[in-house]
Amino acid sequence: MMNQSVIFFDIDGTLFNSDKELPLSTKEAIFKLKEQGHVVAIATGRAPFMFADLRKELDIHTFVSYNGQYVVLNGEVIYTNPLNVTSLQKLTETALQNEHPVVFMDHEDMRANVPEHTYIKESIKTLKIDRFPSHDPHYYKGRELYQTLLFCPEGEEQQYERDYHDFDFIRWHPVSVDILPKGGSKAKGIEKIVQKLAIPPERHYAFGDGLNDIEMLLAVKNSVAMGNAEETVKASAKYVTRSVDDDGISHGLQLVGLL
């Protein structure tokens, strides 16, 4: 295809509306892009197992997950960036002393270091997924982990930011923070994909709404922030579309000339 483009979509607040549902207008727009021969991909902070149904529904086989730490192109894993296990073990010991639970995550599952905790229930349920982390305090041993969730009230993550320099900390919920490898981002994950695609930067697009989308929106030539995004996110994008609840994806694709 002469004018083939690649378009990366965040999930929560971008593909999914405020009820964690896929609007019909968004689904129809995605399939129009695919019919035109474009490459449609997902770029999310979610784990692969958290959006398997969405990939199936949209017939998407290329994605950046864990905010860039686990990258798949046409069904093949092309890049992984696991957490430093030694530092993670030390952080977990500190978190236990502070009564801050953690959830370890690889590409297949997630396990909590405590049997149960209100913060875990409160935040995980907002994702509206069909699984909940079971208890395995040693899940970090002998496997690559791409993200860990730290559960603490806002502001209390600052002590970890000060003491654990191998990680980046991104808050996604009032009581939960993503722990990622230092310097990892959706932008770096996207870079791994576009390096293998013969599509020039002028035909790279990205849609997002969250703080973890800022680097992606700054890096991709044609970036679109959702109308429901915070102002700092909107300021990072080339375009701003309507809210996800107001057919934002369909409108945004028309705005940039893809539909």
H/E/C letters for each residue in 166-234? CEEEEEEECCEEEEEECCCCHHHHHHHHHCCCCCCHHHEEEEECCHHHHHHHHHCCEEEECCCCCHHHH
Given CA atoms 181, 187, 188, 193 in this order, what sign does their dihedral have? positive
As to burial, measured by CB atoms within 10 angstroms (0-12 exposed, 13-18 middle, 19+ buried), residue 97 is exposed
Among residues 48, 54, 37, 66, which one has the least CA distance to residue 184? Answer: 66
User: Residues 10, 106, 213, 247: which is the catalytic one?
Assistant: 10
Separation between Cα atoms, residue 174 and residue 97, nearest integer Å: 21
Helix residue spans in the chain (DSSP H): 24-35, 52-58, 85-97, 118-124, 158-163, 186-194, 214-219, 231-234, 248-255
Catalytic: 209? no
As to burial, measured by CB atoms within 10 angstroms (0-12 exposed, 13-18 middle, 19+ buried), residue 191 is middle
Radius of gyration of the chain (CA): 18
Taking a C-beta distance cutoff of 8 angstroms, is the pair 83, 167 a contact? Answer: yes
Amino acid at 244: V
Q: Which residues are catalytic?
A: 10
